[in-house]
Amino acid sequence: MPETPADQPNISRVWMGADDALGDDDAVGVADRISSGEISAAEAVDAAIERAERAEPLIAAFATTDFDRARQRASGPVTGRFAGLPTAMKDQTAVAGLPLGLGSQALDGAGPSVSSSPITKVFESVGTISLGTTTLPEFGLTSSSDFHHGPPTRNPWNRDHIAGGSSSGAAALVAAGVVPMAHGGDGGGSIRIPAAACGLVGLKPSRGRLPHENDVARLPVKISAYGVLSRSVGDQCAFLAAAERYFPQPALPPVGLVDRPLDRPLRIGVLSTSPVNRTPASSVVDAVADTASLLEQLGHHVTVIDEASEATTQAFGDDFVLYWAFLAGALAVGGKKLINPAFDSTKLTSFTRGLANHARRNVHRIPGAIRRLKAAPELYHRQFGACDVVLSPTVSDPAPTLAYLGKDLDYQTHMDRLMRWAAYTPLHNVVGAPGISLPVALDLDLMLPVGVHLAARVGQERLLLDQPDLTAKKGQGQIADIVPIDGNGALCHIVKPHQQFERRALAGSTRTDQRDALSCLNGYRDVGQNRRIGPIMKPDAMKRDFSPQSSDRHTSIRTIPDLWNKIE
């Protein structure tokens, strides 16, 4: 493995998986192996640290490493569902003994945190062991991973592209195989956007499902939530169930352990575009259309949501940006009191200052924007109508290049590009509703993942995790388990976290290897019994075309069999 970024082409996939204690298991798989005694917590943590040391020069995902304390904790007794699992915490929440940097040079003078935040304690309570804190843009105010305060966090699929944000380092570490699961925070899409960019599963839970500093903050609209980024849906199910036992939330319907699909068809609404951006990439539009068609084939009631019912209007986007700017302005002016006495506002980035200036110029509009955002739940309800779930893109395009959302852009250019790319996710933060991003396709031109987004009403996380599967075979997996891009860079589908399936990389050395990698979407073989699990769908079984356009420039559920001829 190269020791420096210059030794490896940026287009090469960064994957740290090896024949070590972690293997290529997801978080549930690693935790189960630790629990059974097959491996020890110390061995799992040592393997993750070795991977981190190889990966960091290539992806720059850590804000602070904490390897010595991780090894110390792994050497003692650890309890919980994920006892001994190596992970990492986003540098957005306090970890006792480590500085809280929030991705900002304005906090360079801050000392170590005296105590851990409630969400850090939740992660500790379920048994995870943190290797350190992960990178984010300043205060999580953008989705770019090109930073002023250090090297950019790079997308492991193509290091010339961003990892998304603001949970940038978390996504890069999981996508590179350093850790199976990592903590993330989402204030406008900051878990789901990097999940889409890096081919991961990212769930933003309902507001209040997990503890957050904003729970006690005096904010007019509380938009942030914590969760995890993972390589399987099973990890999301197990983490929520474990965290819920430690942090029950009586104000919300319990989630429990989601381990079986629903027994009824769902009403699914489809949004292919957004008023903020009516021209998403064809690979994104087709991925949404393919998923919608497959859901309909499986017996769900799928309808296209009329543009007149869309809640994410241009006006909503303008209000959200103004509220975002209001928060940035409050930090710029009151950082010493709100965050840390060591806060130095002269070191704020040009983007944060641009947001603060936007708020200052439009201060007379802020009360109206807040009033309309508080009314957003009614718009959200109207958008859903009779639907149980809404399907849409997560972002408008695969991850852009570092330069496209670079640190040296002027504020307005950066904001315009950001809003066109990430227009789909802020609504759920304002409403407090859950949303999940799932990797369902690969853009062949860019060799980057494509994600789709599923959203439900407040408190209905189960609908996003336990819907019937998309494999057209009853009893196997869930809707959210259509993950053709697995953590090892192969096009593959994980039906159950504990099952092992053979995986072949798309970039196989022979045409036969490549064809096999693509065909794994059309029928899986259980390695242990060498039997077919069943097809996802037949190419000619499409009932309706939900796409306003079509293209052959990408890989998605519908077009994978057609790629055999292209490989030839």
Q: How many CB atoms lie within 10 A of CB 519?
A: 16
Specify the 3-state DSSP secondary structure of 63. Answer: strand
Closest of 134, 452, 97 to residue 291, by C-alpha: 452
Q: Does 90 participate in catalysis according to the annotation?
A: yes
Instruction: Return d(Cα 185, Cα 343) in angstroms, integer.
Output: 22
DSSP 416-457: HHHHHHS-SSHHHHHHT--EEEEEEEEETTTTEEEEEEEE-S
- For 562, other C-beta atoms within 10 Å of its C-beta total 12
Phi, psi of 30 (to 5 degrees): -65, -45
Q: Using an 8 Å Cβ cutoff, are 450 and 287 in contact? A: yes
Biggest alpha carbon–alpha carbon distance for the chain: 67
Tell me the C-alpha to C-alpha distance, in Å, between residue 428 and each of 252, 376, 379. Answer: 16, 9, 11
Residue 557 structure tokens: 């559920």
Cβ within 8 Å of residue 289, ≥6 positions away: 272, 545, 546, 547, 558
CA atoms of 482 and 104, how far apart (whole Å): 37
Q: Which residues contact 270 (CB under 8 A, 6 or more apart)?
A: 288, 292, 302, 303, 304, 305, 390, 391, 392, 546
Residue type, position 26, single letter:
D
Q: Which of 117, 143, 166, 274 is the catalytic position?
A: 166
CA dist 191 to 15, 180, 222, 440, 505, Å? 21, 15, 16, 17, 26
Catalytic residue among 104, 117, 130, 190: 190
Give the distance from CA 115 to its chain's centroid. Answer: 27
Write down the catalytic residue from 90, 232, 282, 556: 90
User: Which of the residues are catalytic?
Assistant: 90, 166, 190
